[in-house]
Structure 1
Amino acid sequence: MNPVDWPFRGPEAVSDGTLTFRELRRFNRAIYPAVWIPRDTALSPQELARAAWLWSDRRGVVSGLSASALLGAKWIDAGERAEIIHSNRRPPAGLIVRSDTLAPGETTEVSGMQVTNPARTAFDLGRRLKLRAGVQRVDALISATRVQVADVHAVARQHPGARGLRQLRETLDIVDGGSESPYESLTRLVLVRAGFPRPVTQIRVYDRYGIALARLDMGWPEYRIAVEFDGAQHWTDPEQRDRDIERHAALEAQRWIVIRISAGLLHTHRGAFLDRVHAALLSRGCPPFEYSGDDCRY
């Protein structure tokens, strides 16, 4: 049996002699009609996107989360369905097919495939996903591609009758490519929805000699208040914990208030977290603002 790159179109591999029909059936499985992969193989989001493109007989345009994965965005689960813009309105199970209209300049080429470009991809994600998922997904895409919010608004102007434009505007008002994980995006969303002044992301702190002490997830540097999201590594890695202790002491010496939050606390004690941030801001002279408390409407 000759080696074959996968995913691949089975009929092509048989017709060009790469595989016999028996080898195709014995060692591979069909993921979509005519598209095959080796048995017992799990596909990454990028590979699944390529499989969808092959199913379209190389005529479709990869879109949505599939496009986002090909453009380099992180945090896309392998279990997400592939998405493609194509004229065939009878897709197989596990594949999302859109019949969207694309304006000139809204596609790019990635590994030989036509893919919605970053601005168009953000446009589609922001208008179709609910606020929480939309902010997280567009944040990740901005971080990977450096596409600008203005570019996404320009795409929206090309499609004035598209569905979800109100949702898109609400999402774009909150997105920030400085977030480095979905939970950082969620933390910022919680703060903004609760009425807090919009936090700055990725705040660099230096000592008096200009040496970098820390890069803080988000906060309000004018008040020296920061919010840090603690991932699992902060608790399970002893070396990381030691660095965190030294870093925290250096920040305290510069009169920074650092409020730390974890995924569990964000879900179960969100109100208490918001109260702490609110009290810290007021203690540092932040003008009073309308604070709605725990707002779960996202």
Structure 2
Amino acid sequence: MTTGLPPIYTRQDADAAGLTRAELRDDGVRVSRGAYVSRSLPLTVHARCRSLVAVLPAGAAFSHATAAGLLGAPVRDARPIHVVVAPGSPRPRRRGLQVHVRDLTAADRVAHRGLPLTSGAQSWLDLAADTAPDELVAIGDALCRAGHLSTARLAERLAQAGRTRGVVRARHCAPLLTPLAASRPESLIRYWLLDSDLPAPEVQVPVFDHRGVAVVHGDLGYSRWKIAIEYEGRQHAEWRQFGRDVDRYSFMASRGWLVLRFGAVHLDRRATVLDRVGAALLSRGALPGRA
């Protein structure tokens, strides 16, 4: 920009800087009434939220999927932007903004990358009402992995939740969360297994060499029966990673491990995943009653 304006500004800032209407149209992307992001800046969710801070009521915080996404969780849709305001505060009516009214304690709020957000525990509880359990576990795992959700804080928040909408699902899923799950797909598959009649899988299963040193770790699996469950995302197609995978899987096979590999095509095929894991367990004698 040549006006000296920062890349995120309000209409009042633009007027004070002497920006003409044509210059404003050419430079700024209007996020909401009076809130702009310069075209020189990528229009990320973070940038959109930064532009809204100046036009929201004092004490407002971004919440629900917006907060969870900004904290690093794999939320599926960035729109609308969710914000919570205190009772009695002005309730902004803006396109692309979904406003919730609630009292937040100090523990329910955090500052993250310059933005006021609901905490990891509060954001996760907010999402519980309208999020499928497997996706809720994936979001919770990601928040745990990023350090924004702890067992103690979540237990404290759920103990105070009363009859909050979604609290029953949240209490069911809370004991299943782990910071060890490395991705959304791993979390989904783990939840499917936990929700089935198959044995509960381990996370980050160690595979040892002849000296007893853990050389690699399977995403999920069963040490007792030497079954590993791996999810392969798009990055596994890169040739260096492919080479590492070949070496990894050949080592696991040499140690007697059966490796089940799943990909994006399986994320809407829950029954297939469970059938194949079940068959692998049966082949290793883990399910004698099903022979």
**Alignment of 1:82 onto 2:81:** yes
TM-score (norm 1): 0.83
Report the RMSD for the aligned CA atoms in angstroms: 2.7
- Looking at structure 2, the residues matched to 65 and 12 of structure 1 have their Cα atoms a distance apart, in angstroms, of 29
Q: What residue number does 1:296 align with? A: none
- The question of whether the paired residues in 2 share the 8 Å contact of 1:28 and 1:39 is answered with yes
Matches of 2:247 and 2:238, distance apart in 1:
15
Residue matched to 1:249: 250
Partner of 1:277: 277
* 1:58–1:11 distance in 2 versus 1, CA, 3 Å: farther
Asked whether 1:63 is paired with 2:63, we answer yes
SS of structure 2 residue aligned to 1:259: strand
Q: Is the 8 A contact 1:142 1:177 kept in 2?
A: yes
CA contact (8 A) 1:126 1:135 kept: no
Listed one character per residue, the Cα deviations across residues 20-78 of structure 1 (whole Å, up to 9, x for unaligned) are 5553344213211110112486522222232333331553112122222333x153467
Decide whether aligned partners of structure 1 residues 233 and 26 sit closer, same or farther in structure 2, where only a CA change above 3 A counts: closer
Q: Percent identity?
A: 27
Structure 1 counterpart of 2:139, one-letter code: R
What does residue 293 of structure 1 align with?
none
Q: 1:60 to 1:6 in 2, by over 3 A?
A: farther
Which residue in 2 is equivalent to 1:169? 171
In structure 1, list runs of 5 or more residues that go unmatched: 291-298
Match of 1:183 in 2: 185
Match for residue 194 of structure 2 among 192, 202, 210: 192
> CA 1:288–1:54 in 2, change beyond 3 Å: closer, same or farther?
farther
Alignment of 1:1-298 (within 5 A): 1-15=2-16, 17=17, 19=19, 23-39=23-39, 42-57=42-57, 59-71=59-71, 73-76=72-75, 79-86=78-85, 87-145=89-147, 147-209=149-211, 211-234=213-236, 236-268=237-269, 270-286=270-286
- Cα deviation code 1:157-195 (max 9, x no counterpart): 223131111121233243333222221122112222222
- Whether the 8 Å CA contact 1:107–1:117 is kept in 2: the answer is yes
Q: Which residue type is aligned with residue 118 of structure 2? A: T
Decide whether the 8 Å contact of 1:44 with 1:78 is kept in 2. no
Unaligned runs of 5+ in 2: none
Q: After alignment, is 276-285 or 215-224 more displaced?
A: 276-285
Describe the shift of the 1:113–1:230 C-alpha distance in structure 2 as closer, same or farther (beyond 3 A).
Answer: closer
Instruction: Answer yes or no: is the 8 Å Cα contact 2:56–2:92 preserved in 1.
Output: no
